[in-house]
Copies of this chain bind each other. A is one copy, B any other.
């Protein structure tokens, strides 16, 4: 049981849908504003960032927003933006962006665990921390499985094409769970730091609420670009890429299933 999508483009398969660049530009504007506003929040209201002091905690939200939200989101958009480049180049860029995101997120994780250790705080008791560990673990597993199936030469075509939809679904889900976890963390920070002042509409609370809405909007914008059926990478480019992968496979020493 399967379904085939035939693309009936007006122009050649190599053309870029007219509205796509504007949506991508808008998503990048949202993403960069998100990172800048996280920096502004930490700088203006939380004393800035330093590794060897109480300010070490502040490295956590900044790294997580840059790594697990902005870079992870952009890694998902690679196939929409680079529509006509060789599939292999696009794949490598997709994988590399995810590596950067993972490394930055790892620094963010080390920051919070190290800060908790120095302060003698308990670890992993909150819903934010449970979701965070879950999402980081899933992200790492997804990267490993994605690498073994799509970048490491040798996975049979049949396995690749059966795994591809799962990879896309879990990729989008892990990204959305990352956004949700960031929202939970922001909320936690606000309630810990502001307490009763939160309900008095303190400037920090309002700024952080706007930051939360921006997080949700960036997630929505990435999801929209990713799921629009007529913005998918053209099938002609996919087919060229498939035959190139096949060449790589047959020239290498991994027989695969072919």
User: By the criterion CB–CB under 8 Å, are A2 and B230 in contact?
Assistant: yes
Which among A46-54, A97-105, A196-204 touches the partner chain?
A196-204
A interface, over-half SS: helix
- CB neighbours of A183 from chain B (8 A): 127, 131, 180, 183-184
CA distance A63 to B176 in the complex (A): 24
A61 at interface, CB cutoff 8 A = no
User: By the criterion CB–CB under 8 Å, are A128 and B187 in contact?
Assistant: yes
User: By the criterion CB–CB under 8 Å, are A198 and B126 in contact?
Assistant: yes
CA distance A192 to B192 in the complex (A): 10
- CB neighbours of A201 from chain B (8 A): 122, 125
- CB neighbours of A190 from chain B (8 A): 126-127
CA distance A33 to B5 in the complex (A): 37
Which among A86-94, A212-220, A236-244 touches the partner chain?
A212-220
A7 at interface, CB cutoff 8 A = yes
CA distance A232 to B6 in the complex (A): 16
Tally of A interface residues using CB under 8 Å = 53
- CB neighbours of A131 from chain B (8 A): 183, 212-213, 216
- CB neighbours of A7 from chain B (8 A): 3
Report A10 CB to chain B, min CB distance, Å.
5
User: By the criterion CB–CB under 8 Å, are A212 and B127 in contact?
Assistant: yes
Taking CB as reference atom, which chain B residue is nearest A206?
B125
Report A39 CB to chain B, min CB distance, Å.
19
A252 at interface, CB cutoff 8 A = no
Which among A106-114, A144-152, A221-229 touches the partner chain?
A221-229
A169 at interface, CB cutoff 8 A = yes
Can you give 10 contacting A-B residue pairs, CB < 8 Å?
A: A1-B9, A3-B232, A6-B6, A125-B198, A127-B183, A127-B190, A127-B209, A184-B187, A187-B187, A188-B191
Chain A residues engaging chain B, CB cutoff 8 angstroms:
1-10, 17, 121-122, 125-128, 130-131, 134, 165, 169, 173, 176-177, 179-180, 183-184, 186-188, 190-192, 198-201, 205, 208-209, 212-213, 216, 220, 223-224, 227-230, 232
